[in-house]
Structure 1
C-alpha cells in the first residue's frame, strides 16, 4: 500500500493533469467551432467514439441534468455537427448521431492532437509509452469499479 506522501503526490499530479486537460478540451472545442462549449465537444466525441445514442445516455455518461444535455445537443444540432432521428424502438425518443461535418471537424482536431502528443512525448521510449498506457488503463479501471 502506498504511503501518504505518495498519495498526496499522486493527487497533486492528477490535479495538474485535470487542469491541463480542461484547458486543452476548451481549445479543441474552439477548433471544431468558435462557439462550441467544452462539454459539447466532449459530447460530440462521445457520439463519434460510441456511435449513435439517446440523449439519456449522454445524461448518464456525463452525470449532468437533462436540461444541460438538451442545451448542448441543441447547439450541436444548430452547428450541423450532429443530427437527431426518431428512435425506431421508441418513436417518442430520438437518436443522436454525428454528421459528416462533425466527423470531419473532429478528425481534423484529432490529427492536430496526435501531432501535439508526439511532439510532447518525442523523447519517451516505446516501452515508456506502453507502460504509461498500461498504468492509465489500470487506473481508469479502478475508477470504474468505484
Structure 2
C-alpha cells in the first residue's frame, strides 16, 4: 500500500467516524430541543422553540424573513407564529416601514423563560464537562465553529 493510499484510507475512516459522531450529536440535539421546549412551556412544539430562540436573539422581524432564515414556506411560519402567539410567547407589532405588515418578536415572558432554560443547560453542561480544561473547551468550540462555517459556505 502506498503512502497516499494509506492516507486516503485513514481519511475515509476519520470521515466515517465524524459522520457517526455527528449523527449521535443530531439525535442528542433533537432530544435536548424537546426537553428545552417543554421547559419553556408545556405546549411548546420543538420546531416553534427553535423559532422562538431565533426571534429572541435576532429581534423583531417579519414572518417572511423568518421563512427565509429557516428555509421553510410562509404557511409553516404562519402556523408556528400562530402557535407561539396562542401561548403568549410572541408579540406582533405594526412594521414601521410598512403599515400593512407586522413584526413578530419574542415576548418579555418568553425571553425570561428562554434565558432560564439556557442558564440551567449551561450549568448542566459545565457539570458534565467539569474535567475539561478551559483550553479544551475553547479548542472544541473553535473546531466545531469551523466545521459549521465550512458546511454553511
Q: Quickly name the TM-score band, shorter chain normalised.
A: over 0.9
| TM-score, length basis structure 1 | 0.95
DSSP 3-state at the match of 2:42: coil
Q: Which residue of 2 aligns with 1:76?
A: 84
Shift of 1:18: 0.5
DSSP 3-state at the match of 1:34: coil
Q: How does 1:105-116 map to 2 (within 5 A)?
A: 105-116=113-124
- Whether 2:30 is the aligned partner of 1:36: answer no
DSSP 3-state at the match of 1:3: helix
Computed over aligned residues only, the root mean square deviation of the Cα atoms, in angstroms, reads 1.2
Q: Which residue of 2 aligns with 1:101?
A: 109
Q: Which residue of 2 aligns with 1:19?
A: 27
Aligned residues: 145
Shift of 1:66: 1.2
2: distance between equivalents of 1:66 and 1:85?
A: 18
DSSP 3-state at the match of 2:103: strand
1: distance between equivalents of 2:53 and 2:45?
A: 12
Larger Rg: 2
| TM-score, length basis structure 2 | 0.91
Shift of 1:136: 1.0
Deviation sequence 1:61-111 (CA, Å, 0-9, x none): 212221111111011111111101111111222111111111111111111
2: distance between equivalents of 1:88 and 1:63?
A: 25
Q: Which residue of 1 aligns with 2:149?
A: 141
The runs of at least 4 aligned residues of structure 1 exceeding 2 Å deviation read none
Q: Which runs of 5+ in 2 are unaligned?
A: 1-7
2: distance between equivalents of 1:86 and 1:47?
A: 16
Deviation sequence 1:22-67 (CA, Å, 0-9, x none): 1000110011111111111001100111111111121112122211
1: distance between equivalents of 2:73 and 2:127?
A: 38
Q: Which runs of 5+ in 1 are unaligned?
A: none
